[in-house]
Chain A
């Protein structure tokens, strides 16, 4: 094989790309990993202001657990040889959620039993339905495991025999299934809290997808990293290089070369040419089909698929370095969901406006005398894009931050502003700048009835429009989120291994 020829080229060193590249390299393939930025990880990074190092994007890692209770991501990291080098911590609660319109507040622990009991204490007579819910979760998880083992080609006979209830619930959204198992309304709404993590209301969100996520959080616990997600990104990138992989940062891709509907290679922005028959793209199909592949080589069906898709959530993040500890602030939890209402349909509609009041916050102590608070608000649709221009950008940014911090203070009845020592505000513009995704989207494509987890997984192989071109990461088949991106990157690598070299 010539110097500029590779078994696989991975474009983008985000969570999906890094995992895909390392997986293939470890399987003995010759892999080239390219990124337009300087630092591995994409959004999985951190930044320093004053004496604080801020996590850029990870709220909590799902599917991780620890050595004694490993989740799927842990297993992948173990296989890739990086699990031991990560300093992780399990958060003892799943979430606390506020409904501001009714002044209600629910704090949910980890552990199946404890979760069940706590729910019963908030919503009497929820226990029976919660028990059914958990048993469904188990079957969903087992079914997904089977999906993975069969690399997305499950035998429908086996599915029907072994996972009949999975098959029954799989076509339905969360709300429908929870109603069907007669879960009391309030319990349902509390259980649906994480819906905004997946960026779709419970009436639209795939039950199977949601169940597997929340169940993993409940039984494995949410995980954070002492040295931020940057530690994972760096560990993956270093291990890739140590395994003989070639990584080139500050190397953007200008064109993906396609001939006869097959991938041939890439040309970088500085005009280097690399050849390959296999590309795994961590960058969005929008950018790939609209900007990187010559128009005449883009199959019409790829355009059609793009036209059916809707861009997912944009994010606004306010990173605050506080000169008080959590104890001094009077707050004891890590993760806070603040909704005006626990009805996710109503909330989802409201979230098309920027000043919607929906917040997801994380808080952790930092050193002996300080803490870091990160307040995130999700926005759907393009209101932000329409609102900002070069004249008003700084003002709007400041106004948004003021609004969100005040709202956090009011709803949790704490004083934050007096403790702010460092502040950074990231808007969709910031995410567009660093991630390069269309309009600064952070959650890939919106999950809709025909574009959620199962339809994506089931049609993945037939949607390879150009031979040798696969996608991974937040715009990939497992939708967005850290664990999804790692798992999906791993799977795309394994599927690539199954192709001809």
Chain B
């Protein structure tokens, strides 16, 4: 090949090559020696949208039903609450006897009122936090919360303009945000809410829902009572017949309620051949059957110490850690968000791994919030 050149001749090109570094030097020499105060706006917005925890104060408590109360949380550490999308939840940190418990609660207030969030908690059997909140929490109490988080949100691109909400009991909470969400209501054509409870006295927010419905003719509400027959209410379960009356074709169905209700509905949807795409459900924990109440040792390798605590076969590793005053990394509590991701170093466990990354499974990672011990267990968590 003849002489290869780009510029006038190859020699000059080579000199140019040598100058690459020198030109850069010159450019640097020209620049100012002072750093212009570069505060990156978007990084600041991150802090507003996703603060690292919020200190809140309870400003109002409303008893909604015999076993359910709403709590209004005002921010102390920031001016207004971070914006959220309807369907989001927060993680509430509650200290009882010097132990810190973390539980997820859907935000039941409107996404457009950010002076406070409202959460609504139903007493859950002997549940620790729900009973504490119901019985002990008082106005003026202060808590830390994390979030908002979650994917139980309406997405215009994926979801249909005709929407069905199915709520069971306290599962109504995320839908309360939706019902007050003007932007959401403007996006859709119709909304049918099925709301199931034992009796009319167990319907949380009935008055609020009726008021909203009366003002907006897109919204239709069907209350279904399972243990009480009464005029104006449907009776029984939210079953195939009742659902079909409202025509489900090409509608997006959002479900929030007890896991049993979800399984029951899912059978119906399978039978009706409704694709997954049309069904969204709030996350919840399935408690496995036949757990033992044996006590094992749980050893936790933390960043700078190793500790061993007792843990029962019928409690998740996270629950045992909470009870034994070990710090936890928890957001959703139900195995979905991945925040508690930890390495299983040794031992047998019963665990739910649907939401683990494929490679994480290969390296024995688990979500301890949905993991039960079957033997002594060693795990590794990046906390102090």
Q: A48-B338, A423-B158 are in contact. Are A303 and B277 (CB under 8 A)?
A: no
Residues 418-438 of A contacting B (Cβ, < 8 Å): 419-424, 428-429, 432-433, 436, 438
Contact check: which of A49, A227, A428 meets B358 at CB < 8 Å?
A227
Kindly state whether residue B151 has any CB partner on chain A within 8 Å.
yes
Asked if B17 contacts A170 (CB within 8 A), the reply is yes
Query: What is the count of residue pairs linking A and B with beta-carbon distances less than 8 angstroms?
Result: 199
Contact check: which of A50, A176, A250, A420 meets B383 at CB < 8 Å?
A250
Q: A238-B363, A308-B31, A420-B158 are in contact. Are A171 and B13 (CB under 8 A)?
A: yes
Asked if A48 contacts B357 (CB within 8 A), the reply is yes
What residues of chain B lie closer than 8 Å to A250, measured between beta carbons? 303, 329, 382-383
Interface 1/0 per residue, A143-162 and B, CB below 8 Å: 00000000000001000100
| Stretch of B46-54, B99-107, B170-178, B192-200 lying at the A interface | B46-54
What residues of chain A lie closer than 8 Å to B10, measured between beta carbons? 164, 168
In the assembled complex, the CB of B188 is this many whole angstroms from the nearest CB of chain A, namely 14
Interface 1/0 per residue, A239-277 and B, CB below 8 Å: 000000000111100000000000000000010000000
User: How many angstroms between the C-alpha atoms of A306 and B106 in the bound complex?
Assistant: 44
Asked if A432 contacts B357 (CB within 8 A), the reply is no
Contact check: which of B30, B46, B275, B359 meets A231 at CB < 8 Å?
B359
Kindly state whether residue A388 has any CB partner on chain B within 8 Å.
yes
User: How many angstroms between the C-alpha atoms of A49 and B276 in the bound complex?
Assistant: 13
| Stretch of B34-42, B90-98, B138-146, B307-315 lying at the A interface | B34-42
Interface centre among B34, B45, B275, B355 (most CB of A within 10 A): B45
Asked if A167 contacts B356 (CB within 8 A), the reply is no
Interface size on A, residues (CB 8 A): 85
Report the nearest A residue to B329, measured CB to CB: A38
In the assembled complex, the CB of B226 is this many whole angstroms from the nearest CB of chain A, namely 29
Asked if A438 contacts B38 (CB within 8 A), the reply is yes
What residues of chain A lie closer than 8 Å to B382, measured between beta carbons? 38, 248-251
Asked if A38 contacts B31 (CB within 8 A), the reply is no
In the assembled complex, the CB of A391 is this many whole angstroms from the nearest CB of chain B, namely 7
Kindly state whether residue A414 has any CB partner on chain B within 8 Å.
no
Kindly state whether residue A402 has any CB partner on chain B within 8 Å.
yes
Kindly state whether residue B244 has any CB partner on chain A within 8 Å.
no
Q: A303-B34, A385-B42 are in contact. Are A398 and B156 (CB under 8 A)?
A: yes
Asked if A402 contacts B156 (CB within 8 A), the reply is yes
Asked if B24 contacts A168 (CB within 8 A), the reply is no
Asked if B43 contacts A439 (CB within 8 A), the reply is yes
User: How many angstroms between the C-alpha atoms of A304 and B28 in the bound complex?
Assistant: 6
Q: A167-B14, A250-B382, A398-B156 are in contact. Are A440 and B42 (CB under 8 A)?
A: yes
Report the nearest A residue to B340, measured CB to CB: A38
Report the nearest B residue to A156, measured CB to CB: B18
In the assembled complex, the CB of A96 is this many whole angstroms from the nearest CB of chain B, namely 24
| Stretch of A23-31, A214-222, A449-457, A492-500 lying at the B interface | A449-457
Interface 1/0 per residue, A389-418 and B, CB below 8 Å: 111011100100110010000000000010
Contact check: which of A228, A308, A391, A438 meets B43 at CB < 8 Å?
A438
In the assembled complex, the CB of A361 is this many whole angstroms from the nearest CB of chain B, namely 15
Kindly state whether residue A459 has any CB partner on chain B within 8 Å.
yes
User: How many angstroms between the C-alpha atoms of A9 and B376 in the bound complex?
Assistant: 35
Asked if B43 contacts A393 (CB within 8 A), the reply is no
What residues of chain B lie closer than 8 Å to A251, measured between beta carbons? 303, 382
Contact check: which of A167, A226, A230, A305 meets B13 at CB < 8 Å?
A167
What residues of chain B lie closer than 8 Å to A164, measured between beta carbons? 4, 10, 14
Contact check: which of B4, B32, B82, B357 meets A303 at CB < 8 Å?
B32
Q: A168-B10, A385-B41 are in contact. Are A305 and B31 (CB under 8 A)?
A: yes
Report the nearest B residue to A231, measured CB to CB: B359
Asked if A168 contacts B35 (CB within 8 A), the reply is no
Asked if A421 contacts B32 (CB within 8 A), the reply is no
Q: A227-B357, A389-B45, A393-B49 are in contact. Are A398 and B157 (CB under 8 A)?
A: yes
What residues of chain B lie closer than 8 Å to A417, measured between beta carbons? 157-158
User: How many angstroms between the C-alpha atoms of A286 and B39 in the bound complex?
Assistant: 11
Contact check: which of B25, B36, B40, B362 meets A432 at CB < 8 Å?
B40
Residues 274-330 of A contacting B (Cβ, < 8 Å): 286, 289-290, 298, 300-301, 303-308, 323
Asked if B33 contacts A402 (CB within 8 A), the reply is no
User: How many angstroms between the C-alpha atoms of A439 and B155 in the bound complex?
Assistant: 25
Asked if B359 contacts A423 (CB within 8 A), the reply is no
Report the nearest A residue to B250, measured CB to CB: A418
Report the nearest B residue to A300, measured CB to CB: B33
User: How many angstroms between the C-alpha atoms of A332 and B234 in the bound complex?
Assistant: 50
What residues of chain A lie closer than 8 Å to B29, measured between beta carbons? 304
Kindly state whether residue B182 has any CB partner on chain A within 8 Å.
no
User: How many angstroms between the C-alpha atoms of A393 and B355 in the bound complex?
Assistant: 27
Kindly state whether residue B20 has any CB partner on chain A within 8 Å.
yes
In the assembled complex, the CB of A75 is this many whole angstroms from the nearest CB of chain B, namely 22
In the assembled complex, the CB of A432 is this many whole angstroms from the nearest CB of chain B, namely 5
What residues of chain B lie closer than 8 Å to A290, measured between beta carbons? 35, 38
Kindly state whether residue A142 has any CB partner on chain B within 8 Å.
no
Kindly state whether residue A76 has any CB partner on chain B within 8 Å.
no
Asked if B5 contacts A168 (CB within 8 A), the reply is yes
Asked if B28 contacts A270 (CB within 8 A), the reply is no
Kindly state whether residue A458 has any CB partner on chain B within 8 Å.
yes
In the assembled complex, the CB of B290 is this many whole angstroms from the nearest CB of chain A, namely 27
User: How many angstroms between the C-alpha atoms of A238 and B360 in the bound complex?
Assistant: 11
Contact check: which of B24, B49, B158 meets A459 at CB < 8 Å?
B24
What residues of chain B lie closer than 8 Å to A165, measured between beta carbons? 4
Q: A249-B382, A307-B32, A393-B83 are in contact. Are A421 and B276 (CB under 8 A)?
A: yes
What residues of chain B lie closer than 8 Å to A429, measured between beta carbons? 42, 45-46, 49
Report the nearest A residue to B29, measured CB to CB: A304
Interface 1/0 per residue, A368-396 and B, CB below 8 Å: 00000000000000101110111101110
Report the nearest B residue to A451, measured CB to CB: B24
Kindly state whether residue B127 has any CB partner on chain A within 8 Å.
no
Asked if B157 contacts A423 (CB within 8 A), the reply is yes
In the assembled complex, the CB of A228 is this many whole angstroms from the nearest CB of chain B, namely 7
Asked if A432 contacts B43 (CB within 8 A), the reply is yes
Contact check: which of B6, B21, B158, B384 meets A421 at CB < 8 Å?
B158
A-B contact pairs, 16 of them (CB 8 A): A160-B14, A168-B6, A168-B17, A235-B359, A248-B303, A286-B38, A289-B35, A303-B32, A417-B158, A421-B277, A423-B157, A436-B43, A438-B43, A450-B20, A450-B27, A455-B21
Other A-B contacts than A48-B356, A301-B33, 13 sampled, CB-CB below 8 A, are: A38-B339, A168-B17, A230-B359, A234-B363, A308-B27, A308-B31, A388-B42, A395-B183, A398-B155, A421-B277, A436-B43, A439-B43, A458-B24
